[in-house]
Structures are given as structure tokens and as C-alpha cells.
Amino acid sequence: MSLDPRTPVLVGVGQVTTPPTASLNPTERPQPLDLMVRAVAAAAEDCDGVAPGSAATAGRALLERAQSLRVIASFGWHTSNPGALIAERLGIDPQELILTSTGGNTPLALLHDGALAIARGDLDVVVVTGAEAMYTRNLARRSTEHGTLTWASQPAESTPPATNFGGADRAGTTELETSRGVRLPIEAYPLIENAIRASRGWTMDEHRAAIGSLWSEGSRVAATNPYAWIQQPKTAEELTTPTPQNRLISYPYTKMLTANLSVDQGAAYILCSVEAAEAAGVDRDRWVFPLAGADGNDHWFMSHRENLHSSPAIRLAGEATFAGAEVIADELALVDLYSCFPAVVQIATSELGLAGHPERPWTVTGGLTFAGGPGNNYVTHSIATMVQRLREMPGASGLVTGLGWFSTKHSVGILGSRPPRHHGADGYRYTDVQSAVDALPQTRVQGNYVGEATVETYTVTYDRTGEPTLGIICGRTSDEARIWGQITEPSVLSTAATTDWNGRTGTLAENGTFSFS
């Protein structure tokens, strides 16, 4: 079939994982720059379908023609312009170097942006990569006898990248939320999780079984993924039962129900026009097409959202993406949902209409606990795996989601092993749903409230010995304003894992302390 030469197509993907068994000397393990370079080289080899280390004629031609090199910001490696170092190592000279802001949505948002630029004729070849080596970094802190890490860096006066994609980093919580203890994902997502439990009417035991079963499914998928960090299947009971190796982090999450950031992994993809793919000589059996995508942020702060158990942004982005790809949920052959915590998968499954397909796992990688959670870059891995799977399934389509901050920034995309049904500038379809989300009502917050309130959701944080340290309360006043409080009384905190606090009434004091009636 004749295709419009401006049709965007994914032609090469690469993944690298350096497991703990590679070396216990952190100075001998690859740094993030090494992982990114290796991932891009693997993506180039993938364009030719050759074995790692083999000559990649078509892939090399595309790298040399690359106009935009886009780097996902690393948690553990900070330098002014990593793209310049990668380009130097690869021997290429792209005219545009991009560095993203924080957000697990950025690899997919970059795909949307690159596909649009290619369809417009602004770009021909785009390379996206990212990596983390947090396992090595943590190992170096524990193994000081090996010396310090000497990762690549650049002088302070180095030329910054052409674009900081995603805009300036913005705090994920309000001052009030922060003052009550909500600072990190591990404090925010348990609040969302317990709100889901309340909305579904589950008992604590039913809820524990549900999230354990969900995560167990991810572990079984990871067992078949050669790039996964943890490749041993886990039962629901193993995942939800606190032990010294699987301690409670924040109720109801144990360590094995959270994203695994301590990994050494890199991934990359090469996106180009059909014209560029044909000129380089990439066989059509390597091609996978971005069909449609959408981005949107929920109301930025949790305090302002109508509730914490749903996501209008991912719902609207999903509706736009399905319409653009002319695919319905039941037709999807594959799905990979962002999975930093079980709450995220449950919300996405509900909002995107993906429930009721036990034969179709919610992930193609195993998710951020088992496949690995390399900072902002997980979705580059899920895109890479999705491309590899779709090549084996003629005519099939797969959905990928990405997420940033506290269920805040959402990105949805559908890829297909068949071309878009529309051609030309209208072939790849993208929607920004932000205006529709912004038009939705916001919840009123009473930051200085004193008096009676009802618990909307809650969590309790735990220290490394398993002792509860802080209760965080999100509640409502009688006129539905949202309040935030804290519980520090040990005798009350000790009941959190056995007594449901949702729906209970109490009193919020002037200092922010919440006490049950």
C-alpha cells in the first residue's frame, strides 16, 4: 500500500539492563551515559533486525540523519546538556538537542510531539533515549571501599539544550499538603489508593486481595521479559504480606507494591518519516505506526480535584485517542498502563474501559515494580516492548499510558502494526484535552479550618523497623470543603492496618492535628 511520505513510523527500539550480578563494584558498572549510548545503538541495530553488535546499515543512516536527539531527564545523573555527550559518543550531529522536565509521561509526550513534527514536515528523524543507574549509585553509597563514582559531567558554562521539553518543573503539592506530610509519591498515592477502596465499597481484606492479585499479574509478565529487573513471579500473598524484606512503606503499600527505582536500565526509540525509513532501507516488517495520542493534566493539586479515586484527564485523553485511532478498547491486542503504584492501574483500567479482559494483561513489560522503574524513563521501555510485540501481530494495535507527579500529568497513545486509516497531515491524530479538563469544577480548600470533619481518605507512613510514624488525613467539612490533618498518637496509628478510617468523623485542631470522635 502506498503511504504518505510524511507518515511517522517507529523503526528501531533498544533496551539495556545491567543486572546486579554484572558486578558488585560500582565503578565497574555502566553509568547513565553509557546506558543511553548503548540503548540508542541497540535501537539502530533493531532497524536492521540484526544481532547486538552487528552492522546496522539502515539504523546508522538514520542516526546520521537525525535532526532531534531528545533525552529524558535522569533522577540520578545531572549535567547541563546530556544530549551533547550522547551525540559525541555516537558520532552524530543533530541540529536539536532536547532535555525533558520531570514526569513519567514525557517519553510518550515526546512521541506525540515528534510524530506531529514529522507529519508537518518539520523533522525527518527523531531519537529519544533515557537511562538510570540508581542501583549503581546506591551500591556506591554502601560500598565506599571501591572509591567514588566518576560519572560524565560538563562545565557549568556548557551550552544548554535547545529545548527543555515539558516546561519548568513545578511543585507537585500545595504548601498545606506538604505541611501535613504529603511530599513524595509514596505519601500521595496511598491516599489515592484508599480513596479507590472507599469508592468501590471494598473491605480492607478485599482491597488487599485485589491489589495483590493485580500486582501478581505484573510479576508473571515480567518473568517473560528478558530486560526485567525482577523475573521471579510473586503471589498476591507474597506481595501484600509485610516481612523484613517487604516492609510496609505507607498503608496499604508494602515495598513490593511500589515502583522499583533502584535499577540500572536504559532504553531508546527511533521515530522517522516513511520517506526517511524507505531511504535508509528499513524493511517494512520493522515498522510500527503511532496512530493517535493525547495529553492532559488533571487539576494540578490533589486538593482541588473533585475526588481522588478518578481521573478526568486520562478519561478524556483516552476518549480522544480511541477516536483518533478509530479503535475501541475491546479491539486492543496489547496494553501497557503506567504502574508506579496499583492505584494508577486501577484508575486507568476504569477510566479507559479496559476491564473484563483477563486474557489481556495490563502490561507488556511487567510494570515499574518488576520490569523496573528507571525514573522518568519507564515508558521508553514500554514503547520499545510494545513495538517488538506488535511486529509479531499483523494488523494489531496496542495502548500505552504515561503519568507524571501525583496522578497529575497523563499521556495516552495507541500504536499499530498497520498504518493509520487516514493519510497525509491527518494520518496521525493528536489531541490536547487540557482546556476540557480545566473547565471542570475545582474543590474548595479550607486551610485554616478548625472543627469537625469526615475522613475522605488517609494513609499512615512507617519507618524501616515497621513502626508507624505519621497519619495523613484528607477530609471534608460539612459543606464539602477539603481539609488536611495529621495524626501522631502511636496508639491510634497502630490501628491503621486493621481498622478502616475512611468515613470516620473527627476534629481538626488549629495546629493541624486530627483526632477521632
Q: Please check the confidence at residue 510 and state whether its pLDDT lies above 80.
A: yes
Percent of the chain scored above 70 by pLDDT?
98
Q: Name the more confident of 153 and 147.
A: 153
pLDDT confidence of residue 57 = 94
Question: 3.40.50.360, 3.40.50.10740, 3.40.50.2300, 3.40.47.10: which CATH number matches 8-170+261-438?
Answer: 3.40.47.10
Banded pLDDT at 52 (limits 50, 70, 90): confident
Task: Give the residue extent of every domain in the chain.
Answer: 8-170+261-438, 451-516
Closest CA to 275 of 412, 454, 124: 124
Determine whether 115 is exposed, middle or buried from the number of CB atoms within 10 Å of its CB (0-12, 13-18, 19+).
buried
CATH code given to domain 451-516: 2.40.50.840
Mean pLDDT of 295-319: 98
Chain segment 101-134, per-residue pLDDT in tens: 999 999 999 999 999 999 999 999 999 999 999 9
The rounded distance, in Å, linking the Cα atoms of 491 and 63 is 61
Chain segment 380-428, per-residue pLDDT in tens: 999 999 999 999 999 999 999 999 999 999 999 999 999 998 766 678 9
Q: Please check the confidence at residue 350 and state whether its pLDDT lies above 90.
A: yes
Lowest mean pLDDT among 49-53, 182-186, 278-282: 49-53
Contacts of 280 (CB under 8 A, 6+ apart): 11, 47, 58, 59, 61, 62, 65, 272
pLDDT confidence of residue 347 = 98
Enumerate the β-bridge partners of residue 505: 454
Mean pLDDT of 176-197: 97
Q: Is there a shared CATH topology between the 8-170+261-438 domain and the 451-516 domain?
A: no
The rounded distance, in Å, linking the Cα atoms of 379 and 410 is 12
